[in-house]
């Protein structure tokens, strides 16, 4: 608990994350859920009279949000965050590194033409990250409109420098660090190689309250597909963790690093799975009542903190249950038992609906806040998910037909129930095309978690393309699906054809050697994509596919952590290249046809991809010099220093950083803003161990 604060020294921060504005906006029942929840959060910020709002990413659900989504988000921000009340936060640092355009190298409440009462700070997530031409995102539009302050940009994924936003109110000094979403495998590797640096204020380092906002996987789904807490700096006081939708709002201390982790979760349920629920009852019953979703108000004075959690009342109750029909003796294990199975499942759903409604009413009765707007006594339609294993002799009804029996009583009347069987140990049939069986794809993932790029990745892994690089094509498909870039695949193929033709014509390859030449070109292209991924600039037009930002279908692979492919000598089809030769006689192609026909032989050929271990590690950088930013409209900044992540630790190892530098060297960001790069003391760490 925190001692009683003085109001003039207390910074009150409303914390939320993963609002996913625009999720299912075309749904007749759930279309306005994300809008209502975001409006409630912004209304709470106004009612509670906070000093600022801090969002953990994924403000929008779509990378290119619709006009309605933009309108609803901008309306909520404008009605609740603009006003005549002066903002008492004083800016002490430079925002030029986090700004797309020098015109917005200041916070919105410092703009003399805008009256901002409650500033909103946000990083980008994996849904609303920068992509496409110019590497802009939806948050840039809101920043240009003066509604939010977008920070935490990542210009280079393999060389990251995190600069704080320094704020002060009275005697309290707040250092706000932001790290926008980066592919988990790429970020893991960047931390492991010691290429992530945190800048720290030079003066009064122990008197700053440090908050870091991240948007990454929190749980270790794979060996490198997450961000370990041990990778983060121990001088942090609070870690705001976005991306995970499970609501773990109560601050939890990390015993190794000492900081506290706050995970607000999502304000709207986007996947009806166990991660969206909390354990509430026995019998494999998982119920997420309406009061499970919370936002929090963090109060900071000096190095002291206080935290208040507030339930969101506009969130639908969500109940989930998993059952195995074979465990219930009341259902006869005969071939003609559809009626008994249907009646049993109907009783299960009825019970889940009653549980959800009862819990919602209890939450409304317990939550009494006169400062908040009135809430309707009519409970919202709940979200119900029943997963049924029907392995054995059971007849089940069509899932949609079963779900439609509850129209008007549940919000998801199309997919209440999910059937699945226990996976067989052996498989007789063999897929002719090499495409993996669907059951293999969903063995450890529910249908709501299955993504298009996963299917494409599995298909490409099972195939061997003759001309195009599989990883480049997979990234193009992912860019098309995830970022709604309609030209992604077309641009990739066109540039690949152009480079391949040019390369083959220049090399003067004979017709008999085309097959081998194509394989070499494709291998070089794959290697180029893997090695050069992630080295992009924050601003600039896309002149070719080499400069295009890729969403990354291969982010789930353990041997790949690429972000944006840069293609060299892309491939072109064999037959076209042969037709280009003007000196070849007319009858010659018929003689070469037999050598080119056996496509099955080509399909069995594989090209080894370069191992990740062959990529050389970079040396630690002692001094970094940036170009001076444009003139600022803020007060004199406090000079920060930099803390570099250790290069020598292994996976999931605990970092130990030396806080005071021995001989600080300065980063020249401006005449008023000095940075130093402090290297961790590896000798002390080895001696201590």
Which of helix, strand or coil describes residue 370?
A: coil
Q: How many residues does the chain have?
A: 689
> How far is the C-alpha of 192 from the C-alpha of 647, rounded, in Å?
6
Decide: 69 and 108 in contact? Cβ < 8 Å.
Answer: no
Residue 90 phi/psi, 5° resolution?
Answer: -105, 130
| Alpha-carbon separation of residue 621 from 13, 311, 647, 678 (angstroms) | 35, 46, 11, 10
> How far is the C-alpha of 20 from the C-alpha of 27, rounded, in Å?
15
Pick the closest to residue 218 from 239, 191, 202 (CA basis): 239
Exposed/middle/buried for 382, CB within 10 Å: 0-12, 13-18, 19+?
buried
DSSP 82: B
> How far is the C-alpha of 402 from the C-alpha of 386, rounded, in Å?
11
Pick the closest to residue 554 from 572, 534, 524 (CA basis): 534
Which of helix, strand or coil describes residue 385?
A: strand
Decide: 147 and 139 in contact? Cβ < 8 Å.
Answer: no
> How far is the C-alpha of 458 from the C-alpha of 437, rounded, in Å?
10
Instruction: State yes or no: is 127 an active-site residue.
Output: yes
Residue 468 phi/psi, 5° resolution?
Answer: -85, 150
SS3 readout for 501-528: HHHHHHHCCCHHHHHHHHHHHHHHHHHH
Query: Angle at the Cα of 651 (from 647 to 654), degrees rounded to 5?
Result: 75
Which of the following is catalytic: 20, 127, 243, 245?
Answer: 127
Exposed/middle/buried for 531, CB within 10 Å: 0-12, 13-18, 19+?
middle
- Bridge-based pairing state of the strands 260-263 and 248-253: antiparallel
> How far is the C-alpha of 649 from the C-alpha of 559, rounded, in Å?
20
| Alpha-carbon separation of residue 342 from 123, 372, 486 (angstroms) | 47, 43, 44
Pick the closest to residue 177 from 159, 164, 160, 188 (CA basis): 164
CA torsion through residues 382, 388, 394, 399, sign: positive
* In the block, residue with structure tokens 């009275």: 170
Query: Angle at the Cα of 95 (from 89 to 97), degrees rounded to 5?
Result: 155
**Which residues contact residue 340 at a Cβ distance below 8 angstroms, ignoring those fewer than 6 apart?**
330, 331, 332
* Helix residue ranges, H only, 406-532: 438-441, 452-462, 470-482, 488-507, 514-532
DSSP H helix total and E strand total for the chain: 15, 22
Long-range contacts at 428-435 (CB < 8 A, ≥ 24 apart): 431/462, 433/462, 433/463, 434/462, 434/463, 434/603, 435/459, 435/462, 435/463
Catalytic residues: 127
């Amino acid at each position: 608990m925190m001692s009683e604060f003085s109001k003039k020294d207390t910074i009150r921060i409303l914390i939320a994350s993963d609002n996913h504005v625009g999720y299912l906006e075309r749904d007749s029942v759930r279309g306005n859920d994300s809008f209502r929840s975001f409006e409630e959060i912004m209304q709470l910020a106004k009612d509670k009279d906070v000093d600022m709002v801090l969002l953990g990413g994924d403000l929008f659900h779509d990378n290119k949000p619709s006009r309605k989504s933009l309108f609803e988000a901008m309306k909520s921000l404008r009605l609740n965050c603009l006003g005549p009340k002066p903002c008492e936060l004083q800016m002490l640092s430079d925002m030029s590194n986090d700004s797309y355009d020098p015109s917005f190298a200041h916070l919105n409440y410092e703009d003399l033409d805008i009256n901002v009462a409650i500033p909103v700070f946000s990083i980008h997530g994996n849904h609303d990250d920068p992509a496409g031409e110019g590497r802009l995102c939806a948050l840039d539009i809101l920043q240009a409109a003066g509604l939010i302050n977008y920070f935490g940009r990542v210009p280079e994924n393999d060389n990251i420098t995190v600069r704080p936003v320094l704020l002060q109110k009275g005697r309290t000094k707040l250092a706000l660090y932001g790290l926008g979403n980066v592919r988990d495998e790429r970020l893991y590797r960047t931390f492991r190689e010691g290429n992530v640096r945190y800048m720290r204020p030079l003066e009064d380092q122990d008197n700053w309250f440090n908050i870091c906002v991240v948007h990454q996987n929190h749980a270790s789904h794979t060996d490198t597909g997450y961000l370990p807490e041990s990778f983060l700096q121990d001088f942090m006081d609070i870690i705001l963790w976005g991306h995970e939708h499970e609501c773990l709002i109560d601050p939890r201390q990390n015993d190794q690093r000492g900081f506290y982790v706050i995970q607000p979760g999502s304000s709207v349920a986007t996947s009806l799975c166990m991660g969206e629920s909390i354990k509430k009852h026995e019998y494999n019953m998982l119920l997420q009542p309406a009061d499970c979703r919370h936002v929090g108000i963090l109060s900071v004075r000096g190095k002291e903190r206080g935290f208040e959690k507030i339930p969101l009342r506009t969130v639908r109750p969500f109940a989930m249950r998993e059952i195995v029909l074979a465990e219930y003796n009341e259902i006869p294990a005969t071939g003609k038992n559809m009626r008994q199975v249907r009646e049993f499942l109907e009783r299960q759903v009825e019970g889940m609906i009653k549980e959800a409604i009862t819990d919602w009413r209890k939450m409304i009765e317990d939550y009494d806040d006169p400062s908040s707007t009135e809430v309707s006594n009519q409970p919202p339609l709940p979200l119900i998910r029943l997963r049924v294993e029907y392995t054995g002799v059971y007849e089940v009804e069509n899932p949609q037909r079963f779900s439609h029996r509850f129209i008007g009583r549940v919000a998801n009347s199309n997919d209440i129930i999910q059937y699945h069987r226990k996976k067989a140990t052996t498989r007789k049939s063999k897929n002719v095309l090499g495409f993996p069986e669907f059951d293999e794809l969903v063995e450890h993932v529910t249908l709501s978690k299955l993504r298009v790029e996963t299917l494409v990745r599995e298909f490409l892994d099972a195939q061997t393309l003759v001309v195009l690089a599989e990883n480049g094509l997979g990234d193009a498909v992912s860019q098309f699906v995830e970022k709604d870039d309609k030209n992604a695949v077309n641009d990739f193929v066109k540039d690949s054809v152009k480079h391949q033709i040019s390369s083959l014509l220049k090399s003067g390859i004979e017709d008999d050697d085309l097959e081998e030449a194509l394989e070499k070109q494709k291998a070089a292209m794959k290697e180029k994509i893997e090695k050069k991924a992630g080295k992009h600039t924050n601003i600039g037009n896309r002149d070719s596919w080499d400069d295009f930002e890729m969403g990354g279908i291969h982010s789930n692979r353990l041997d790949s952590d690429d972000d944006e492919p840069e293609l060299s000598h892309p491939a072109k089809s064999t037959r076209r290249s042969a037709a280009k030769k003007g000196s070849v006689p007319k009858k010659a192609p018929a003689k070469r046809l037999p050598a080119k026909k056996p496509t099955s032989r080509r399909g069995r050929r594989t090209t080894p991809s370069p191992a990740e271990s062959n990529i050389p590690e970079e040396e630690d950088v002692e001094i970094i010099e940036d170009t001076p930013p444009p003139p600022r409209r803020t007060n004199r900044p406090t000079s920060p220093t930099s803390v570099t992540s250790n290069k020598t630790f292994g996976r999931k190892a605990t970092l130990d950083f030396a806080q005071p530098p021995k001989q600080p060297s300065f980063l020249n960001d401006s005449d008023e803003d000095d940075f130093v790069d402090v290297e961790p003391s590896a000798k002390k760490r080895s001696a201590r161990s």
